[in-house]
């Protein structure tokens, strides 16, 4: 078997779980494994990844890893959502030594878009924004037909495009970022305040019924489905705000594709992408009949498939 | 003489003037000519360009043209600031026939940044935003070390990045774009209203003394220099607003350089770039010690030099 036809393992390191999958040359996930993300820092994460990769049937020719942080020259520079990660972690060196194969590192949002671009909803696009709706709002870019990560690997922060200067306080400490209205963490905060102030909502009842500790995508989707007025109001604001941020990105970058992913995209489907398109349209400078808003096709697998694509590319062109 | 060592003529078509210059292989402007932009439509513009190019001593090996509109596949798709231009004008065909040399067309803001990148303040940058402060706010991008124009050639509209959803009405019809606060046309509108409402300002007196019909960059620079309170207030708002739009672009694109040009940049110098940097900093997600804000070096020649660079590149790699 040639190297490019080999099985590659993709690793998606999230704030909650680490997911790994063996992926063949047609970008099909052959086998999956996952474990909770340890909170002890890089060495523990390294160990969990090693164990998960070794638990798979196939011995990979290479391993690709997506992490929720800034990656530059193969090093994790900042990883705000993982406990115990200081700056400048070398994950690829130790991991490659442990596993005996080349390891390539990328940012999770960029890697997810790479997966969708290679084998999902972003196929055929040239200038693409990937928008991941989760606890925060993540983003990745393909520009001029190749992945774009910026001068330090920190590009894609669509959640921190300012839509309302002086507006709602964002968890980044600034005011008026899209994430301050559309990130699930911020939405939960406002929902809590409103319910404490006497507004009725089924959000927290659904959360308890589902046995969740947080307002997950599933909880939001359920509440929206039930016609919960508060959930609807917060969701409308989230879409409206994201629409403006995405339109600003379109005015700046003349995109031909926007791919929406994350938990809510899985639950709501193409309807979410359509709503975002409708919200962005009034803020776009030039009408563009070729611009498509689509929902993620790979769903939960986007990170694993994209990480494998990244590692496969590095095998061919290191 | 090899083709790449030949003299190329660059043409900068503006809403007010058309400027041409013969440019050598070291990007030095050898000779200049200019004329008022005719208001009769493409045929008249074509004639003026032809006459200007023929008035120069050197016979060019090629001609590059920058126009204030969207350029795609060598055609001018939309040119909002020129009178009588309908969609889909073929300027390069007729002009090339008239002049007997290859003609290459580009958007004026992109071409200006190309000039600065090749021979001016953007040299050495890889991920660059060019910001041109004029009647409106223009923009161009170099991303990953090459010019970026987007899927239809319409990228770079930093003036229509929304900074305050629902804010001031922009000439594009939307609310809260950076240009609604920082474009000279909008600034003049507010200045007029304020003076009519009884606020004191030397802006209009300076305009009359300078024999101008509009509040030009020179008039604004003079009023700011005089410590005019209204001019200062409007300029502060313009910088603050542009700072937010530029920070959004930085969060999205992880830029390493911002080049500020246009009339006001010529008058105020590096201080304008420094002020913009200071205004953007609080809105930037990641501190970036390598990020530079610089003022245009080529000033009025940026468009001519950039258009010549574009045409020279097309000679080598059509």
Q: How confident is the model at residue A4 (pLDDT cuts 50, 70, 90)?
A: low
Q: Do A163 and B165 touch (CB under 8 A)?
A: yes
Residues A25 and A168 grouped into a single domain: no
Instruction: Give the pLDDT confidence of A92-124 residue by residue, as tens digits.
Output: 999 999 999 999 999 999 999 999 999 999 999
Residues B211 and B310 grouped into a single domain: no
Give the tokens for residue B43.
Answer: 């045929």
Say what the pLDDT of residue A40 is. Answer: 85
Residue A85 pLDDT greater than 80, yes or no: no
Residue B145 pLDDT greater than 90, yes or no: yes
Q: Is residue A266 part of a domain?
A: yes
Q: Do A290 and B149 touch (CB under 8 A)?
A: no
Q: How confident is the model at residue B178 (pLDDT cuts 50, 70, 90)?
A: very high
Residue B255 pLDDT greater than 60, yes or no: yes
Domain count, chain B: 2
Q: Do B254 and A286 touch (CB under 8 A)?
A: no
Residue B28 pLDDT greater than 60, yes or no: yes
Residue B1 pLDDT greater than 50, yes or no: no
Residues A109 and A132 grouped into a single domain: no
Determine the average pLDDT of the residues in B263-278.
95
Residue B4 pLDDT greater than 60, yes or no: no
Residues B49 and B129 grouped into a single domain: no
Residues A25 and A109 grouped into a single domain: yes
Q: Is residue A119 part of a domain?
A: no
For residue B292, the domain's CATH number is 3.30.420.40
Residue A230 pLDDT greater than 80, yes or no: yes
Residue B172: domain span:
125-296
Q: Is residue B119 part of a domain?
A: no
Mutate to test the interface with B, among A285, A289, A291 (most CBs of B within 10 A): A285
Q: Do B162 and A244 touch (CB under 8 A)?
A: yes
Determine the average pLDDT of the residues in B231-251.
97
Residue A243 pLDDT greater than 90, yes or no: yes
**Contacts of residue A178 in chain B, CB cutoff 8 Å?**
none
Residue A223 pLDDT greater than 60, yes or no: yes
Q: Is residue B192 part of a domain?
A: yes
Residues A44 and A103 grouped into a single domain: yes
**Contacts of residue A146 in chain B, CB cutoff 8 Å?**
144
Mutate to test the interface with A, among B140, B252, B258, B283 (most CBs of A within 10 A): B252
Give the tokens for residue A230.
Answer: 């508060």
Say what the pLDDT of residue A2 is. Answer: 43
Of B47, B22, B21, give the one whose Cα is nearest residue B36.
Answer: B47
- Distances from the Cα of A54 to the Cαs of A48, A60, A97, in angstroms? 10, 9, 13
**Contacts of residue B107 in chain A, CB cutoff 8 Å?**
none
Residues A60 and A167 grouped into a single domain: no
Q: Is residue B120 part of a domain?
A: no
The percent of residues above 90 in pLDDT, for chain A, comes to 83
Nearest to B283 among A78, A149, A174 (CB): A174
Measured between CA atoms, how close is A269 to chain B, in angstroms?
A: 25
Instruction: Give the pLDDT confidence of B52-81 residue by residue, as tens digits.
Output: 999 999 999 999 999 988 888 778 877 777
Determine the average pLDDT of the residues in B167-195.
95
Determine the average pLDDT of the residues in B159-187.
95
Residues B137 and B284 grouped into a single domain: yes
**Contacts of residue B241 in chain A, CB cutoff 8 Å?**
165
Q: Could you please report the per-residue DSSP string of chain B?
A: --GGGS-EEEEEE-SSEEEEEEE-TT--EEEEEEEEPPSS-HHHHHHHHHHHHHHSSSPPSEEEEEESSEEETTEEEE-TTSTT--SSB--HHHHHHHHTS-EEEEEHHHHHHHHHHHHSTTTT-SSEEEEEESSSEEEEEEETTEEE--TTS----GGGSBSBTT-SBPTTS-BSBTHHHHSHHHHHHHHHHHHHTT---SHHHHHHHTT-SS--HHHHHHHHHTT-HHHHHHHHHHHHHHHHHHHHHHHHH--SEEEEESHHHHHHTHHHHHHHHHHHGGG-SS--TT-EEEE-SSGGGHHHHHHHHHHHHHHH--
Name the pTM for this structure.
0.94
Say what the pLDDT of residue B3 is. Answer: 47
Q: Do A161 and B244 touch (CB under 8 A)?
A: no
Q: How confident is the model at residue B113 (pLDDT cuts 50, 70, 90)?
A: very high
Instruction: Give the pLDDT confidence of A122-131 residue by residue, as tens digits.
Output: 999 999 999 9
Q: Do B282 and A156 touch (CB under 8 A)?
A: no
Q: Is residue A120 part of a domain?
A: no
CB pairs under 8 A between A and B: 133
**Contacts of residue A285 in chain B, CB cutoff 8 Å?**
154, 157, 160, 172, 174
Q: Is residue A286 part of a domain?
A: yes
- Distances from the Cα of B172 to the Cαs of A108, A244, A283, B268, in angstroms? 36, 15, 10, 27
Cα–Cα dist A68/A49, whole Å? 15
Residues B191 and B292 grouped into a single domain: yes
Average pLDDT over chain B, rounded to an integer: 93
Measured between CA atoms, how close is A256 to chain B, in angstroms?
A: 6
A91 or A208: which carries more pLDDT confidence? A208
Q: How confident is the model at residue A49 (pLDDT cuts 50, 70, 90)?
A: very high
**Contacts of residue A244 in chain B, CB cutoff 8 Å?**
162, 165
Mutate to test the interface with B, among A152, A181, A243, A252 (most CBs of B within 10 A): A252
The percent of residues above 70 in pLDDT, for chain A, comes to 98
The percent of residues above 70 in pLDDT, for chain B, comes to 98
Say what the pLDDT of residue A79 is. Answer: 78
Residues B64 and B77 grouped into a single domain: yes
Nearest to B253 among A150, A162, A166 (CB): A150
Q: Do B154 and A244 touch (CB under 8 A)?
A: no
Residues A7 and A46 grouped into a single domain: yes
Q: Do B152 and A70 touch (CB under 8 A)?
A: no
Q: Is residue B27 part of a domain?
A: yes
Average pLDDT over chain A, rounded to an integer: 93
Q: Do A290 and B251 touch (CB under 8 A)?
A: no
Residues A268 and A148 grouped into a single domain: yes
């Amino acid at each position: 078997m040639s190297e490019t036809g080999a099985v590659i393992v993709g690793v998606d390191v999230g704030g909650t779980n680490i997911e790994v999958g063996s992926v063949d040359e047609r970008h099909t996930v052959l086998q999956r494994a996952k474990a909770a993300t340890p909170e002890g820092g890089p060495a523990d994460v390294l160990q969990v990844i090693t164990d998960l990769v070794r638990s798979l049937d196939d011995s990979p020719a290479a391993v690709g890893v997506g992490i929720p942080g800034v990656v530059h020259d193969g090093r994790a520079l900042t990883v705000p959502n993982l406990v115990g990660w200081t700056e400048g972690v070398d994950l690829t060196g130790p991991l490659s030594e442990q596993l005996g194969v080349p390891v390539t590192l990328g940012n999770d949002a960029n890697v997810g878009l790479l997966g969708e671009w290679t084998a999902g909803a972003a196929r055929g696009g040239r200038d693409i924004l990937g928008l991941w709706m989760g606890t925060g709002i993540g983003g990745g870019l393909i520009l001029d037909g190749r992945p774009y990560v910026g001068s330090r690997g920190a590009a894609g922060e669509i959640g921190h495009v300012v839509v309302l200067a002086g507006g709602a306080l964002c968890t980044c400490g600034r005011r008026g970022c899209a994430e301050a209205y559309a990130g699930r963490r911020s939405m939960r905060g406002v929902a809590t305040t409103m319910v404490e102030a006497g507004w009725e909502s089924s959000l927290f009842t659904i959360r308890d019924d589902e046995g969740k500790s947080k307002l997950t995508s599933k909880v939001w989707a359920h509440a929206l489905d039930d016609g919960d007025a508060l959930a609807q109001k917060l969701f409308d604001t989230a879409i409206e705000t994201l629409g403006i941020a995405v339109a600003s990105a379109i005015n700046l970058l003349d995109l031909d594709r926007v791919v929406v992913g994350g938990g809510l995209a899985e639950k709501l489907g193409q309807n979410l992408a359509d709503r975002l398109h409708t919200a962005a349209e009034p803020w776009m400078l030039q009408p563009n009949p070729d611009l498509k808003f689509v929902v993620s096709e790979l769903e939960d697998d986007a990170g694993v498939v994209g990480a494998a694509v990244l590692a496969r590319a590095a095998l061919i062109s290191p």
